[in-house]
Structure 1
Amino acid sequence: MRQLKGKDFPKLLREIPDKPSLLYIRGELPSPDLKYLCVVGSRACSIYGKRMTQKLIAGLASYPVAIISGLALGIDSEAHKAALDVGLPTVAVLPSSADDASLYPASHVPLAQRILAAGGALVSEYKAPFKPATYSFPARNRIMSGMSVATLIIEAGEKSGTLITARLALDYNREVLAVPHELGRETGAGVNRLLREGATLVRGGADILQALGLKEKDIPEQIPLPTDLTKDEARVLHALTEALVRDELIERAELSAQEANVALSSLLIRGLITERLGKIERA
């Protein structure tokens, strides 16, 4: 673990009025040439929220983007996982100190280790050992939004702490992006209100790229596959160049029915594929 002083902070973090005096870093911060995108949302995320997190971040895979989030349960951890799955750098900003013994939530120590193994970073303004306190969560949020060009809100209820991050981003004159939700669903009430109040509507990756000041490629590069797939899972995804019925997919992947069913079940649980109207396609 090393200390980072104010003059060495990411450029945008140096600009906020309430920047920390010192940061403790494990790992390496992404290149300053990348666009930092803060991605946050509800801890009790819905299937829709999880799917949109994976889909939107996967769409950024061939662009110079780094994903910033808070390692929390729900959307935050899904954002880190989605970034890791497609090879994007990711940084976890913590409400605790960055040592394994204090890291919050403790259940995400393996995810934190995966972030470090992939060349990412854990960031905290607290010297170890420090367990999170009530005040350290909004304090963490200001660092996430402060170091980012824009903040993407995937999912949030009316009283979600995620809205604190959105407010801070606005205070710092950074763009707030929001994913629309079905009316009447509590998990989306907060983001729908943000949209009503002027947040940028996100319909797909192109909207995020525009907010980051990046030009969408005319011919997108193929999104890389997650690095922790089994051989059978990789064959299924390679075969899914279009929506296919199950029997046709099994034939194209050259797998037995049993092998294919095991791989499909795993990919469905991870949100990497979807099944609609009898056809299977990449999420």
Structure 2
Amino acid sequence: MQIRELPYNEIPQKLKDISQPAKRLFVCGEIHKNENKNLVIVGSRKHSSYGKQVLCDIIAGLVGYPINIISGLALGIDTLAHEQALKHGMTTISFPGSGLANSSLHPQTNIRLAEKIVESGGCLFSEFTPDFKATQYSFPQRNRLMAAYSDAVLIIEAEEKSGTLITARLAMEYNRDLLVVPGSIYSETSRGTNYLINQGATPVLSAKDVLLALGFDVKTKNERNDISDEEHIILSILREPMSRDEIIRECDNPPEEVNSLLMIMELRGLITEDAGYFRKT
């Protein structure tokens, strides 16, 4: 990947309008000078299946809107955010906590992902020299640039003492919208996010909440009128993700009829199955 240092006057203004501005900036790829909103998505490196599903659903709901997905290339939620943006043809931008040379890029397992980001028309930013290897302090230092570059920061799962909370604090300091996905009170990866909501962050329950926070006019989808009575029953049962056996136990119909109905509903896009659990789309 070709790395170049930006002249100071080409460094994005947002990165210079903070208390600790970027004085140098290296880039790989194309810098987009579009009117897209910048949504930073960060979270736990040890995300749960719930966090993964929420992230996939939210990004799918943002498709078609002028939004850049920004993250830090780290394992976990960061990696998923970049991958889902690429899957849906959205522009994605990364701020690694290291230099941009392949020999120093962190984490090394995401070198190919970084290349895909650049190949798809996105870019990588770093204020560290290309051969700089990540250190304990370089990640918080990087976080301030992500927060500054954003229009809103979305946090999906964070432990109580997570570095993600540093990005959250900086987002509030820079007057960016702080959006947080709530989680179970019993989940370690939701303690940080639930704390942020308690402190006044905006809870996010769907992609619509993100779009509204970014200032988009969201039109409500028309209700489908082609759903049968049997399908309505299944949808009413699926108040939360359920296994096939749980759905069959809730229904009065024979198991073979329920299995057939589930297959038809999945083909019609009414429900989806992931890791053995069905949920409404």
TM-score by length of 2: 0.79
- How far did residue 126 of structure 1 move? 1.1
Change (3 A) 1:7 1:250: closer
Q: What residue is the counterpart of 1:109 in the other structure?
A: 111
- How far did residue 13 of structure 1 move? 2.2
- How far did residue 31 of structure 1 move? 3.4
- How far did residue 30 of structure 1 move? 2.9
Q: What residue is the counterpart of 2:201 in the other structure?
A: 199
2:64 paired with 1:48? no
Distance 2:161 2:110 in 1: 24
| Aligned-pair identity (%) | 43
Distance 1:210 1:31 in 2: 23
Measured against aligned partners, the alpha-carbon deviations of 1:186-219 in whole angstroms (never above 9, x if no partner) come to 1100000000000011011121112112221455
Change (3 A) 1:11 1:210: farther
Q: What residue is the counterpart of 1:61 in the other structure?
A: 63
Uncovered stretches (5+) of structure 2, i.e. residues with no partner: 223-258
Q: Which has the higher contact order (CA 8 A, sep 6+)?
A: 1
Range that drifts further, 42-51 or 210-219: 210-219
Contact (CA 8 Å) 1:12, 1:149: kept in 2 or not? no
2:196 paired with 1:165? no
Distance 2:87 2:186 in 1: 32
Counterpart of 1:152 in structure 2: which amino acid?
L
SS for the counterpart of 2:6 is strand
Equivalences for 1:128-167 in 2 at 5 Å? 128-167=130-169
Change (3 A) 1:275 1:18: same
Counterpart of 2:264 in structure 1: which amino acid?
E
Counterpart of 1:186 in structure 2: which amino acid?
E
Distance 2:109 2:131 in 1: 17
Distance 2:51 2:261 in 1: 26
Change (3 A) 1:97 1:245: farther
Distance 1:248 1:161 in 2: 44
SS for the counterpart of 1:181 is coil
Please tell me the root mean square deviation across aligned C-alpha atoms, in Å.
Answer: 2.4
2:238 paired with 1:248? no
Which of these residues, 88, 91, 97, is aligned with residue 89 of structure 1?
91
SS for the counterpart of 1:143 is helix
- How far did residue 167 of structure 1 move? 0.5
Which of these residues, 30, 33, 36, is aligned with residue 31 of structure 1?
33
Equivalences for 1:70-89 in 2 at 5 Å? 70-89=72-91
Q: What residue is the counterpart of 2:16 in the other structure?
A: 14
Equivalences for 1:173-252 in 2 at 5 Å? 173-218=175-220, 245=261, 247-248=263-264
Distance 1:203 1:250 in 2: 23
- How far did residue 101 of structure 1 move? 1.2
SS for the counterpart of 1:131 is coil
SS for the counterpart of 2:143 is helix
Distance 2:168 2:267 in 1: 47
Contact (CA 8 Å) 1:244, 1:281: kept in 2 or not? no
Which of these residues, 2, 8, 16, is aligned with residue 4 of structure 2?
2
SS for the counterpart of 1:22 is coil
Q: Which structure's CA Rg is the greater one?
A: 2
Distance 1:167 1:151 in 2: 10
Change (3 A) 1:103 1:86: same
Q: What residue is the counterpart of 1:99 in the other structure?
A: 101
Q: What residue is the counterpart of 2:122 in the other structure?
A: 120
